Structure 1
Amino acid sequence: MLSYFVVILLSIALVGTVSFYISYKTMADRAESAGLQLVRQIENNMDNDFHSKRNLLLAPYNDQAYIDGINRYADMSDQEKFLFRQRIGDLYLKSFNVTPIRDFLRFQIYYGDGELLSSSDARKPWTPSQVRNSEWFRSTVAKDGEAFFSGFIPQEANEPSEVAAYASSIMIRDFSNPDRFIVVRTEYRSSLFRSIGQNDDLSLNSRIVILDEDNRLVYESGNESKSIAESELLERAVGREGKFWINVGGEEMLASFTSSGYSNWKAVLVTPRVEIFGALDKIKTTVIFTAIIAFVFTFMISVLFGQRITRPILNLYKTVNRIKRGDFSLRVKIDRNDEIGRIGMNFNAMQDELQTLIETKYLNQIKLQEVELAMLYSQINPHFLYNTLDSIRAMSDYYKVEEISVMAQSLADMFRYNTKNKDEIVTLQEELDQIDSYIKIQSIRFEGKIECGIQIDEALYGTPLLKMTLQPLVENAVFHGIERKRGKGMITISASKERSRIRLSIKDDGVGISEKRLAEIRDKLKPPAQQLIEPSAEREIGIGIVNVYSRYAIRFGDRFDFTIDSKKGSGTEITLVFPPFETESDAKSESST
């Protein structure tokens, strides 16, 4: 009972811990992934808006007269300058009023020396020196025609910067006259960022933070900008995109950010941890209470039903011990109909069957010996078989039936080769003689459809081989390659010496093997220790091929190579590459050494 109690306790604790960890990890990964997706969407929306605003700033490029006016402005008379300033101011007023921009605040147009050419409101102008030395003006000129976006930076201490959230500016010039240009600057409220936050399905307490390319705070949703500005967020939001956990005002938050490739600004989404894992914390509390209740309930069950389960098992154990001592007279008493009662019934039945088997064992042994003796008497004497085949050949010669004579003689030669030659190692010549007899029989069977060619140097005829190497492979070529082919077929047996190894090849021009089937055959040709060939598999790939492969693999191991190459409709080639067999003299010299 104590062990059962401890196992249940550990199981509940382990399952609860693992479940909580997996849930925590899954929710954290999903929250981080969702955060990155949201900030990417925010960045995309912001880039689209910035791009459209940048297009508005390029209005002078639509009319060459404005570009010409920029080139000639320094040389114009006062009246001409007045008219040019009025015309270019009207151009931008039309641009920003034809399609109203919700967060547009004002624009100013400055000449390259800092002179104010036009403004959309009556705001006190900066001096040319202030303009030229301002950070935004220098950065805009450095962009060389690209739009520059920045958080609003006031030029004077008493300037009402709170009404503007950010500004964009661009340099307009004739590329053929780069020294004369104007800079157009527009200021915007924070309406864009507020609308982004409202349209992107953020959680209740999540906050959007916008940073410029120098990681300065431009905008933050909510009313806690000071805490964000003083946190480590501004220092850690470095790189193209990322995510990390920060502490803001004593609260842990997940920060996900991505950097815009267009404006180099960063969009940051800050989500409180409680909003991510709040549901998980509730689940954890519920699981703990459920585990305590389950633990108490399990303990009560173990106390109430423990003895009821263990008592009949103990009685069964005592009966097993009596059987172990050889007493088969006692049976288990059955007084219940549950699982333990059925175990007792099956045990009694097993005991009866075991007793019957013991009593009939010797009778079965005697019957088995009688069957084996009868099988021994029924075996055919090989000499009787040879004499019968010789008689068939003599009769065919007498009646002049050459095909019967050839088949009988070839079959007799094959039987003599298999039964009389007890050596495991034979010569290549002996194997070729066996193949010659086999091909004669098959050629008669298939009416000359099968031909066999030999491409072997005479010096290799004495090469040692394992007995029955060629016949299974040639038989496989006949039945799986040539027999299924229309027309005649050729089987080519070749042998050559490659360095210190012998290369033996059996090739046919039969129907070939499909790529899928070839892969299955190669997969089944494993080292003998790993082979588990089912009868159906033997019929499919031929037990002879497996036998040849296994015998050579056992003898030579890694020094033996066995390959099957085939293509549907182009025949099959089986190649064996193995080292020479050791002769008796080699073995004796090696042992003496």
Structure 2
Amino acid sequence: MRKIFLNMSLSNKIVAMVFTMVMIPVFLMSWLFVKEMQLSIRHEVSSNYVHVTGQYVANLNYKLDIYKNLQETLLANQTFQTVMQNQYRYDAQDMIYISNLFSSEIKNVIFSDYPEIYNIMFYAENPEFPRDGRHVASLDVMENEYWFSSVPETYMLEPIVFDYRTLGLKKKIVSFANPMKDLSVDTSIRTLAWLKIDVEAELFFEESLVRKQSNEFQFAIRDSRNHILYASNETFAARLDSGAVSGQAMVEFLDSGEVLVRERIEALNGEVLFLFPDFEIEKKTKAVFNKVIFFVILILIFTLMMSYLMSLILMKRLRRFINKMARVKEGKLEIAEYIEGRDEIAIIDSQFNTMVRRLDEVIQENYIQSLSKKKAELSALQNQINPHFLFNTLESINAMATVMNAREISAVTESLGDMLRYSINISDSLVPLREELNNIVHYVKIQNVRFDDRFLLSIQVEEQLQSAKVLKLLLQPIIENAILHAFRGSRSVGHMEVTAEQRDGQLWLIVTDDGAGMSREEVRQLNDTLLSGERHGHSIGLQNVHSRVNLTFGQSYGLRIESDPGIGTKVAIVVPYVK
């Protein structure tokens, strides 16, 4: 992967990096947004489901209140009370009368407002009470019926569910049973009879519900004993009975994606459970997801376009820089254009321009140095006036002085011959420091013959430094300048000392004299003259040495001069340390 990335063009790298840096956060934020929207949708949909459930409970409670009022009306009905208070006065012969009386009175009470009522039964305490099988019977008959086994011993109002079979049909019946008290006595606890109202469960529970679609959701009614009073779907009832759906939480999101909502029904001492399918949540989530995908694709296209345009702009400037480098490679050092801006490319271009200008300056300086060096060599060649003739002449003078016993003349002639031989030998530009020191010894010896031994030269150079390579005739002009200027007009002996030090790869040759010295202004002017390269005044020898060092080793090498009036002068020659 790294190799593929390195081999890609810069424009492709820019597109890839911009795409990566933009799209990773976009994808992450999109994923988080979808997740957040899923939670929001689930909350919104569940709130709607809770509202539907609450509305149903409110409608059911209203209907239960109606039936409660109906029960109270029937139990307090004067006709029913009178009959039941006098139930022991009737026998089987009064069956038709009682049946017609109850049927007529029931119709007068309920009219036709209760289509879900299947039957209304009164069970008298008297076992001999007439029974018609429709609306009246005795308590012993009730005790033998299926539903009676579920009646609470506390005689609290609670609907009882049982299967009622008639004409070969199986109907689910919800029964409301309540004892009839004797209202003729204010504090009576006597039970005259039992009232049982049978209603068809489907009509009773479904009528309280307004459905958008018949199969949109399922619901069930469960009593305090977890007995299912009614379920809109047998499969849902089976899941509740098996415990596959617990219904313990107010709102529960099942693993199947369905939503289960439960709410308490106080009038039934039970609860209702609604099971909503997941298609609404899925539908809304899918709509949000599609919108997110659409915007992500838009961002992707926009990012690719912008990164491509950015890469074109960048590559245009880079190509200008590459073309400039190609021209420099061909030797064309003229800078014809500059890359505008303040970014890294503009900075690199500015540094490159500076480097090219400096390269041009160095080439020009090297060319000038080369010309100067050749000119100096030519001048040296022109100054060699028949060296063999001069050597032979000096040898003849030395032989005559020896014959005439003129030892001083012989010594001076010998020293002069050694100096001449050393100076005119141009085969070597660099010589051991030892030879340079020997040359200034001969020079001082000749000057002492001329000035009656007025100069004393001291050389303090370690043996290992004497093998270092230096320019020829490096020290002699410095010694000559001291003799001609530092000790001019002085009759006392002039002391000169030559030392050498190695500092950080450099060789420092230091010539010190105790002559007249120079003022600070004179030292400043002399140093300025050396730096400028101009030749004038009485320091031509120093200027020549400084220029030769500069031309040979570079601008960082040369002479350093210090001086104090009446104390003396110190001249340091700084050259590379070459073994």
Bin for the TM-score computed over the shorter chain:
0.3 to 0.5
TM-score in terms of structure 1 length: 0.45
**Which has more radius of gyration?**
2
TM-score in terms of structure 2 length: 0.46
